[in-house]
Amino acid sequence: MSEKKYSHVTVLLEETIENLNIKPDGIYVDGTLGGGGHSEEICKNLHADGVLIGIDRDTDALEAVGKRLEPYRCKKIFVHSNYADVKEVVEELYEEGKIPRNKIDGAVLDLGVSSFQLDNQERGFSYMQDAPLDMRMNQEDEFSAYELINEYSEKDIAYIISKYGEERWAKRIAKFIVEARKVKPLETTQELVDVIKAAVPKAVRREGPHPAKRTFQAIRIEVNNELGLLETALENFCDVLGRGGRLCVISFHSLEDRIAKEVISKRANPCTCPKDFPVCVCGKVADIKKISGKPVLPSKGEIEANHRSRSAKLRVCEKI
Ligand SMILES: C[S@@+](CC[C@H](N)C(=O)[O-])C[C@H]1O[C@@H](n2cnc3c(N)ncnc32)[C@H](O)[C@@H]1O
Ligand SMILES: [Zn+2]
């Protein structure tokens, strides 16, 4: 791999680290290593006997962060995996004698795409740069934006753009995509941008953000099944935490935040008895408590310094 610049402005860094209550000899999992911003701060707080487990499904990220974290003395374990498989990852490390069982002291999930992925032209995440239609976070996956754009039905494309992109012109964009691909398959981000531009009325294009922004976000979410995996992933992270261990989840999309809120609430209040029952008979007991009722939001200063943080929300829970 050629040398690539790796800059990702980490969102809600201080707030996340504060909420993790890092023990210097603890074991911490970063499920979304990305540029390593959260991981680096965790490492700074760990002694030589502390452990950082960094997971990412992007091999480029793992390679770059490995270098960034070299100066820190704690034990670092990098795993190319999907964060939804955190249970298997932790179990395997236990089997290999690298960590004790039931001992995860904290975990971070900073959802979505990294600046590194966006800035890397050939990955095809950006509507600003021309590249083959791709957007796979895991370069070993077979399904990419190319298959989505050229093989999904018009109805499915419209649904995805509307739901994940909250794009009001979704139906028209889907119609234009299907018309265009009848002539020849859409192969590049620029071809897709041109189709989107043709579908969105000129007056609308002149006002808001780039006309392809919402559609690209939606395609990325679908290609990487970002929302489909989240619920299971959050359940699994809650499962692997040891008593007192904390999970910090940073989301950027209202649908992501809703899933995080629901999983945490369900585990913090699992009783399914009718409200008018005097005592609980379902026997379901909470194993998680909420640390913050409302999500933690970035400060005004952070939003001014980093536009990407404006939609970020941090939710924290603790294993009991
Ligand atoms: C927003 S970035 C994380 C940035 C990081 N916290 C930092 O400060 O540099 C999200 C990262 O999570 C990875 N990712 C997204 N979904 C994933 C999944 N299901 N499993 C593993 N990694 C995932 C992406 O490849 C990306 O590198
Ligand atoms: Zn009950």
> Is residue 24 exposed (0-12), middle (13-18) or buried (19+ Cβ within 10 Å)?
exposed
Residue of the nearest CA to atom 22 in ligand 1? Answer: 56
Ligand 1 centre to CA of 82 (Å) is 10
pLDDT digits (tens, 9 = 90+) for 59-96: 999 999 999 999 999 999 999 999 999 999 999 999 99
CA within 13 Å, CB half, 267: 24
Confidence label for 311 from pLDDT (cuts 50, 70 and 90): very high
- The mean pLDDT of 145-173, rounded to a whole number, is 97
- The span from the CA of 140 to the CA of 152, in Å, is 21
Q: Would you state the pLDDT for residue 248?
A: 98
Q: Are 56 and 80 in contact (CB under 8 A)?
A: yes
Higher-scoring residue by pLDDT: 204, 22: 22
pLDDT value, residue 103: 85
Q: What is the mean pLDDT of the chain?
A: 94
Residue 22 has pLDDT above 90, yes or no: yes
Between vectors from CA 166 to CA 163 and to CA 172, what angle results, nearest 5°?
A: 90
pLDDT over 80 (residue 134): yes
Give the pLDDT score at 4. Answer: 47
| Spacing, Cα 273 to ligand 2 middle (Å) | 4
Distance CA 14, CA 17 (A): 5
CB 131 within 8 A of CB 121: yes
Residues paired with residue 55 on neighbouring β-strands, in sequence order: 79
Which letter does DSSP use for residue 296 in this model? Answer: B
Provide, rounded to the nearest whole percent, the portion of the chain with pLDDT above 70. 98
The C-alpha atoms of residue 51 and residue 7 are separated, in whole angstroms, by 24
Question: What is the model's pTM?
Answer: 0.94
- Residue 34 backbone class (left: φ over 0; alpha: ψ -120 to 50; beta: rest): left
Nearest ligand 1 atom, CA 225: 19
Q: For residue 239, is pLDDT > 90?
A: yes
User: What pLDDT is attached to residue 262?
Assistant: 96
**For residues 218-243, average pLDDT:** 97
Contact criterion met (CB below 8 Å) for 237 and 88:
no
SS3 299: coil
Question: Which residues are bridge partners to 318 per DSSP?
Answer: 246, 289
pLDDT at 202: 86
The whole-number average pLDDT for the span 213-221 is 97
Å from CA of 293 to ligand 2 middle: 22
The region of weakest confidence among 6-10, 185-189, 244-248 is: 6-10
Tell me how far CA of residue 139 lies from CA of 101, 116, 157, in angstroms: 31, 14, 23
List alpha helices for the chain, DSSP H: 13-20, 37-44, 59-68, 86-95, 115-119, 145-151, 154-165, 170-183, 189-199, 202-207, 213-223, 230-240, 254-268, 300-305
Residue of 32, 113, 114 to test ligand 1 pocket, by largest number of atoms within 8 Å of CB: 32
Domains annotated on the chain, with CATH: 13-115+226-319 (3.40.50.150), 142-223 (1.10.150.170)
Which pLDDT value is given to residue 307? 86
* Ligand 1 closest atom vs CA 84: 19
**pLDDT, mean of residues 261-273:** 95
Of 263, 187, 188, 193, the residue nearest 232 (C-alpha): 263
Q: What pLDDT is stored for residue 3 in this prediction?
A: 44
Handedness of CA 126, 132, 137, 143 (dihedral sign): positive
CA 29 to ligand 1 center in whole angstroms: 12
**What mean pLDDT do residues 28-39 have?**
97
- pLDDT computed for residue 238 by the predictor: 97
Q: If we measure between CA atoms, which residue out of 62, 64, 69 comes closest to residue 4?
A: 64
**pLDDT surpassing 70 at residue 7:** no
Q: Which ligand is nearest to the CA of 282?
A: 2
> Does residue 54's CB lie within 6 angstroms of at least one atom of ligand 1?
no
Taking a C-beta distance cutoff of 8 angstroms, is the pair 246, 291 a contact?
Answer: yes
Ligand nearest to the CA of 281: 2
Rounded distance between C-alpha atoms, residue 179 and residue 196, angstroms: 12
Q: Write the pLDDT tens digit of every residue in 173-206.
A: 999 999 999 999 999 999 999 999 999 988 877 8
